[in-house]
Amino acid sequence: MAEVPVLIILAGGASSRMWPLREKSLLRFGTEPLLVSQLQRYRALGFQQAIVVANPENRDDITGLLNQVGGMTVQVAVQPEPRGMGDAILRAEPLLAGRGPTALYINQVHDVVDDSLHRALLDAYRDNPDATYLAGYETPDYFPGGYLIVTGEGRITGMVEKPGAANRPSNLVSIVAHIHQDAGRLFDALRAEYAGEAASDDHYERAMDGLMKTQFYRVVPYTGVWSALKYPWHVLDVMNVFLSQIRGQQVAESAFVAKTATLVGDVFIGEGAKIFPGAAVVGPAYVGAHTIVGNNSLVRNSMVLNHCEVGFTTEIARSYVADGCAMHACRVLDSVFAPGVNFSAGCTTANLRIDRGPVPSVVKGQKLDTGRDKLGAIIGRGAFLAVDVMTMPGVKIGEGAQVGPGTHVIRDVADGVRIYVKQELGMSGGDEA
Amino acid sequence: MAEVPVLIILAGGASSRMWPLREKSLLRFGTEPLLVSQLQRYRALGFQQAIVVANPENRDDITGLLNQVGGMTVQVAVQPEPRGMGDAILRAEPLLAGRGPTALYINQVHDVVDDSLHRALLDAYRDNPDATYLAGYETPDYFPGGYLIVTGEGRITGMVEKPGAANRPSNLVSIVAHIHQDAGRLFDALRAEYAGEAASDDHYERAMDGLMKTQFYRVVPYTGVWSALKYPWHVLDVMNVFLSQIRGQQVAESAFVAKTATLVGDVFIGEGAKIFPGAAVVGPAYVGAHTIVGNNSLVRNSMVLNHCEVGFTTEIARSYVADGCAMHACRVLDSVFAPGVNFSAGCTTANLRIDRGPVPSVVKGQKLDTGRDKLGAIIGRGAFLAVDVMTMPGVKIGEGAQVGPGTHVIRDVADGVRIYVKQELGMSGGDEA
Amino acid sequence: MAEVPVLIILAGGASSRMWPLREKSLLRFGTEPLLVSQLQRYRALGFQQAIVVANPENRDDITGLLNQVGGMTVQVAVQPEPRGMGDAILRAEPLLAGRGPTALYINQVHDVVDDSLHRALLDAYRDNPDATYLAGYETPDYFPGGYLIVTGEGRITGMVEKPGAANRPSNLVSIVAHIHQDAGRLFDALRAEYAGEAASDDHYERAMDGLMKTQFYRVVPYTGVWSALKYPWHVLDVMNVFLSQIRGQQVAESAFVAKTATLVGDVFIGEGAKIFPGAAVVGPAYVGAHTIVGNNSLVRNSMVLNHCEVGFTTEIARSYVADGCAMHACRVLDSVFAPGVNFSAGCTTANLRIDRGPVPSVVKGQKLDTGRDKLGAIIGRGAFLAVDVMTMPGVKIGEGAQVGPGTHVIRDVADGVRIYVKQELGMSGGDEA
């Protein structure tokens, strides 16, 4: 049987498009950061060695996570500058020196898929260790990514980026889940590409294009879940994948669930959490450790991490709420809260346009279609929203921002900014009258 | 025994004073449109033939309803122009041709009364089929309608319109529930009136005035419920009559009522309806088919028809909500919603004036006293109210209108209009500071 | 054994700093006005005679209360002008004429302490009836009041007002709980002080300074609860003292508690009160007679007196609500409501500054630090707040004031004034478009 490949996890991509959220690898969808839960899944699949490629900014954070992963060797490589995926892969080479012929399994930390994809790739590789295997996401809908060019027998002969719906060479979108049977040949090919003077930065794809001429590249089709964290609203998609993995009602012994509280469907209730009278947690839902779901509140299809206060009559629906957020008599709908957000009484994240159309959001100055019919707000770490604030669908609020009472937030609010509504008052009566 | 009279239901009156609601005959107060439920009650009382007088606008709608009424013959007559009640009655004549001597029972579709009134009139007529019988609503309070002039023996000698409280000839207000023992003589008298050149359009009253001289007109006094649909807020009164007819707790087998939900008093819960945990339905109340009453919501003294969403912590009190309305974390108080209204989170229909005085409302440019201490809003079909909208007592919002977030609706909003509040923002801090 | 001293209760201080609240003696913290409950406690401790010193304004109110106190002789003296505590005490003298040597126990109605303080003073006096006893509140924190100068043996040799934290002569703050063993000598000393031409009005303290030279003044240290009603937010502190005296769940037989309602901890539910389905009362809490706690509402750590309506999904937390207030789907947080306040749907008393700093409040034109991290609003008798009003932390609203819908109350509102927000609307669409 072929040896298990060495895992390469690319985690050095910039997270700036995730603003006002931060580092993707550190986002928690349950008890562990994303990178840790990904590594644990790989370990369970039999991987024994992993190299995480970080960038200079997240290197320390990532290194700090690794003691949470036992049972496999994990090392961190650093890509000093953002020079593309090929350059990132090359950073793993020194850590493999002296290992002899090695197969590589290349993944991105922010791609969340079913284990079935990994198993299918590993199975294919075990059946025939002489080929390279690329995952192909089968979908009838057009997706603006790379498409695989495939022969009848499943041999990949090329890739084409964003061909347009009419010019798709197949219905197989490339996911970065690649088993290369020979690391040395891949590294050589990548080095050659970087030695040239290519205009574009798709060195990895061009290296593979060359290799395909002499090596066997095979597609492993996949029809399961695939969520990629690129924009901050994708947190909701990834959350849904994790929520779908909760089975039954897992209530910690130290948790309190009031007699008149209701748990419906698949729910996780963490250590020391409290579900007060009249509250409901409707699955799939995750309530973290020491989080309080106050009287008559509702958490449904959501993740509320640790040490949060979900105050009286608060509703959290289809939303992700990180540690230490305080909410009270408010409505958190289709939204993402970073840690420590204060969402006061009477606040609402409006989630539906009056014209019921798809919700746009602005990223780096560009208005994007989020593809979502319902989307609330994305709110950065430690932001304070005073009472009766309303956020328009798709707005983002920066870290530490302050929003005064009664404000309608119509546009994104930058980090640390304070906005407030000016109110014109009339007056009559009293002693002066 | 005298034959049962032929029923004439006047349903051709204009509904323009009902704006932003539409055709009165089609309004549903339960499973059937008002006209259908009226016809079914008449059939149960023994009527075998009915003629509904429509107008050119509602003729098709009304004709479409008639297949819902079995067990009696119903025909539709059309009054081409609004020339008064006498002209409407005359439109029934051709449909009676060849029938021989016929008694008529004349009613208006928008008068909702107890069956006891109909029974009393029929009993009186059976006892003595040689007289004409007019219902007289006994009330000590002054009512701005027609008053009957009655002798000691119950003989009616005349009528007087809005005599003023001090000049009432009796305490008997005329309700249009009239049994004429001889249709032919009535038609003749009406025709004669229309042949003349009267200044006012009370031909029917004048025809009766003439007939009273030679025929016996007797009053049938009545002290039960009487609600007439003239202005849109009257929907609430008529609703109350229908609600008062619910007996006990009628919960469809296919409905779901959560263990921690509460049903109090007389309530109807329709097919496939869902009452979620912590919700309460407090009777008299009607929850229609496939309507969802969400977690911790409250419906009391109200009618919520089919396929509505009463979202989390919504309160609906003393209100009428038609099919397919969506409400969420809001307060619907003393209000009337046409089908398909969207009432978003944080919305409230304010129902009480600060001075606690009676609530006025504007109809066709005229400010009317609605006679109600508490009145919320009347909202037309498909209107969309965004989050945190507040409507002032008595306002009306047109069909398809859109009200932006946080707006206080102080005046009526016309059909299809979009209004929104302009907000002046201040800002400080952040990187610019 | 020494005779029980005659009780002097000083109740003539002005309540103007309590605006928008009124007379302190009349405030109810349970079934009786403060003065009555104080007198009842003294009676239980064995006092037989009391003199309440009123002022011309509150004399009638106070006299009217006395029939509620049985089992002891209570008389009212009136201090015609605010000439200080010494003058107030002298007003009791005529009522003691002919009684012979008498000891006095001087207290202020607005000081709320544990019975243990009174017992300790009485015990000390019984042990040695030849000394004067002053209570000394032991606290390590600096308090801006009078400090006792005490020798090692507990002899008081003087007092110093607001010495500053660094110059405290002891850690014993003076509470006006004083047993004078000889009324005659005290009266004489006070008279002498008033005969002089002192610049300041601390005649009582100066009289005691003189007496200390020839009499034995001893401190009785105290470490229990001490709450003094000086500013209106102190109502919350005094309320907490009273709430802490509720033991177990005292539910009147005539009260209704729905099956799905929840009572937690020490709660008092008065006669005829109703706790509706899904509501919770979380102790320590007091719900007065005939008060309704509506569906899914929450009352916690609060006092809601008689005949109040706590409407659907209302939250009352750490607040004092006097008789006859109407609240509905709103949030009353860390607030004080005088009788008859209307707090409409969607209203919130914001209770936390964005900077999370201590909340200030303005009293007689001066901005004071209330010393509270959380403080909502103080609202005067009969004020009407329309829907969606938000009050900023620490604001006060005068008697009969009216606040229009959606207003943010940023500053205090004077008695009888009406304020409202002016809204600028935009409009588009409709027939005009």
Q: What percent of chain B has pLDDT over 70?
A: 98
Please, which contacts does B322-328 make with residues 24 or more away whose CB atoms are closer than 8 Å? B322/B28, B323/B28, B323/B288, B328/A331, B328/B294
In the DSSP assignment, the letter for residue C233 is T
Residue with tokens 């079934």: C31
In a domain, A400, yes or no: yes
Nearest CB to A262 within list B277, B345, B404: B277
Which residues of chain C does A355 touch, with a Cβ-Cβ cutoff of 8 Å?
none
CA torsion, points A90, A94, A97, A101, in degrees to nearest 10? -10
Q: Quick count: other Cβ atoms within 10 Å of Cβ A98?
A: 4
Locate all alpha helices (DSSP H) within B26-113, ordered by sequence. 34-44, 59-65, 85-90
- Asked if the C-beta of B278 comes within 8 angstroms of chain A's C-beta atoms, the answer is yes
> Mean pLDDT across the stretch C380-393?
96
* B282 φ, ψ (degrees, to nearest 5): -110, 120
Interface contact B333-C344, CB threshold 8 A: no
The subunits that touch chain A, with at least 3 C-beta pairs less than 8 Å apart, are B, C
Are C300 and C6 in contact by the 8 Å Cβ rule? The answer is no
Radius of gyration of chain A (CA): 24
| Closest residue, chain C, to B413 (C-alpha) | C430
- Asked if the C-beta of A406 comes within 8 angstroms of chain C's C-beta atoms, the answer is yes
Q: Cβ contacts of residue B318 below 8 Å, gap of 6+?
A: B236, B300, B301, B302, B333, B334, B374
Q: Cβ contacts of residue B280 below 8 Å, gap of 6+?
A: B261, B262, B263, B264, B297, B298, B299, B300, C276, C277, C278, C295, C296
In a domain, B99, yes or no: yes
- DSSP codes of every residue in B282-303: ESSEEE-TT-EE-TT-EEES-E
With residue B319 as reference, give the H or E element that holds it.
Answer: none
Interface contact A402-C315, CB threshold 8 A: no
Interface contact B387-A422, CB threshold 8 A: no
> Whole-angstrom Cα distance, residue C420 to residue C408?
9
Q: At residue B399, does pLDDT exceed 50?
A: yes
| B227-239 per-position pLDDT tens digit | 999 999 999 999 9
Average pLDDT, chain B: 93
> Whole-angstrom Cα distance, residue C374 to residue A426?
28
> Whole-angstrom Cα distance, residue B321 to residue B291?
11
The beta strands (E) that lie in B116-155 are given as: 132-138, 146-150
Interface contact C428-B417, CB threshold 8 A: yes
List the Cα angle A105/A110/A115 in 5-degree steps: 55
In a domain, C424, yes or no: no
Give the pLDDT of residue B13.
83
End-to-end alpha carbon distance in chain C:
95
Interface contact A426-C420, CB threshold 8 A: yes
- Shared domain for A224 and A80, answered yes or no, is yes
Decide the pairing of beta strands C104-108 and C111-113: unpaired
User: Quick one: which of A83, A82, A91, A108 has its CA closest to A198?
Assistant: A83
Q: Which of A201-210, C114-123, C337-346 has the lowest mean pLDDT?
A: A201-210
Give the pLDDT of residue A154.
86
Give the pLDDT of residue C105.
97
In a domain, B154, yes or no: yes
The whole-angstrom distance between B373's CA and the closest CA on chain A is 24
Q: Quick count: other Cβ atoms within 10 Å of Cβ A94?
A: 10
Here the tokens at position B35 are 């006209």
Cis peptide before C284 (omega within 30 of 0): yes
Enumerate residues 322 to 341 of chain A having a beta carbon within 8 A of any beta carbon in chain C.
328-329
- Shared domain for B135 and B279, answered yes or no, is no
Q: At residue B1, does pLDDT exceed 80?
A: no
> Whole-angstrom Cα distance, residue A109 to residue A37?
10
Residue with tokens 């003349």: B196
Give the pLDDT of residue A98.
82
| B76-133 per-position pLDDT tens digit | 999 999 889 999 999 999 999 888 889 999 999 999 999 999 999 999 999 999 999 9
Number of independent structural domains in chain A: 2
- Asked if the C-beta of C313 comes within 8 angstroms of chain A's C-beta atoms, the answer is yes
Number of A to B CB contacts under 8 A, please give it: 100
Here the tokens at position A283 are 């699955």
- Shared domain for A60 and A169, answered yes or no, is yes
Are B106 and B180 in contact by the 8 Å Cβ rule? The answer is yes
Average pLDDT, chain A: 93
Helices then strands, each counted (H, E), chain B: 7, 39
| B8-58 per-position pLDDT tens digit | 999 988 788 999 999 999 999 999 999 999 999 999 999 999 999 999 999
The whole-angstrom distance between B388's CA and the closest CA on chain A is 8
- Asked if the C-beta of C78 comes within 8 angstroms of chain B's C-beta atoms, the answer is no
Are B114 and B178 in contact by the 8 Å Cβ rule? The answer is no
- Shared domain for C187 and C276, answered yes or no, is no
- Asked if the C-beta of B244 comes within 8 angstroms of chain C's C-beta atoms, the answer is no
| B253-265 per-position pLDDT tens digit | 999 999 999 999 9
Q: How confident is the model at residue A2 (pLDDT cuts 50, 70, 90)?
A: low
Decide the pairing of beta strands B292-293 and B274-275: parallel
Interface contact C423-B414, CB threshold 8 A: no
- Shared domain for A330 and A181, answered yes or no, is no
> Mean pLDDT across the stretch B380-409?
96
> Whole-angstrom Cα distance, residue B161 to residue B206?
12
The whole-angstrom distance between B231's CA and the closest CA on chain A is 29
- Shared domain for C273 and C172, answered yes or no, is no
- Shared domain for B366 and B304, answered yes or no, is yes
> Whole-angstrom Cα distance, residue C106 to residue C90?
12
Interface contact A387-C350, CB threshold 8 A: yes
In a domain, C431, yes or no: no
Here the tokens at position C105 are 């126990």
| CATH number of the CATH domain containing B370 | 2.160.10.10
Q: How far is CA C271 from CA A350, C251, C287, C305, in A?
A: 43, 8, 9, 11
Q: How far is CA C280 from CA B293, C277, C302, C308, in A?
A: 21, 9, 12, 16
Exposed/middle/buried for residue B270 (C-beta within 10 Å: 0-12, 13-18, 19+): buried
- Asked if the C-beta of C386 comes within 8 angstroms of chain B's C-beta atoms, the answer is yes
| Closest residue, chain B, to C297 (C-alpha) | B296
Give the pLDDT of residue B431.
57
- DSSP codes of every residue in C367-378: EEEEEESS---E
> Whole-angstrom Cα distance, residue A95 to residue A16?
28
User: Pick from C202, C230, C258: which residue ends a domain?
Assistant: C230
Q: What percent of chain A has pLDDT over 70?
A: 98
In a domain, C426, yes or no: no
- Asked if the C-beta of B402 comes within 8 angstroms of chain A's C-beta atoms, the answer is yes
> Whole-angstrom Cα distance, residue C301 to residue C320?
9
Interface contact B388-A388, CB threshold 8 A: yes
Give the residue with greater pLDDT, B433 vs C384.
C384
Are B316 and B298 in contact by the 8 Å Cβ rule? The answer is yes
User: Pick from A181, A209, A230: which residue ends a domain?
Assistant: A230
Are B346 and B305 in contact by the 8 Å Cβ rule? The answer is no
Q: ipTM > 0.95? A: no
Give the pLDDT of residue B177.
96
Decide the pairing of beta strands C298-300 and C73-78: unpaired
- Asked if the C-beta of A422 comes within 8 angstroms of chain C's C-beta atoms, the answer is no
| A330-357 per-position pLDDT tens digit | 999 999 999 999 999 999 999 988 888 8
> Mean pLDDT across the stretch C210-235?
93
Q: At residue A431, does pLDDT exceed 60?
A: no
In the DSSP assignment, the letter for residue A94 is G
Nearest CB to A429 within list C388, C408, C418: C418
- DSSP codes of every residue in A126-138: HH-TTSEEEEEEE
Q: Quick count: other Cβ atoms within 10 Å of Cβ C421?
A: 19
Q: How confident is the model at residue B400 (pLDDT cuts 50, 70, 90)?
A: very high
User: Pick from C230, C252, C275: which residue ends a domain?
Assistant: C230
> Mean pLDDT across the stretch C76-88?
93
In a domain, C147, yes or no: yes
Are C316 and C293 in contact by the 8 Å Cβ rule? The answer is no
Domain of residue B361, residue span:
237-419
> Mean pLDDT across the stretch A214-238?
94
Interface contact C278-A296, CB threshold 8 A: yes
- Shared domain for A101 and A223, answered yes or no, is yes
User: Quick one: which of C387, C284, C291 has its CA closest to C339?
Assistant: C291
Which residues of chain C does B415 touch, with a Cβ-Cβ cutoff of 8 Å?
430-431
Enumerate residues 341 to 370 of chain A having a beta carbon within 8 A of any beta carbon in chain C.
344-346
- Shared domain for C278 and C364, answered yes or no, is yes
| CATH number of the CATH domain containing B26 | 3.90.550.10
In a domain, C194, yes or no: yes
- Shared domain for A149 and A176, answered yes or no, is yes
> Mean pLDDT across the stretch A312-332?
98
Here the tokens at position B137 are 């609503």
- Shared domain for B255 and B381, answered yes or no, is yes
- Shared domain for A222 and A281, answered yes or no, is no
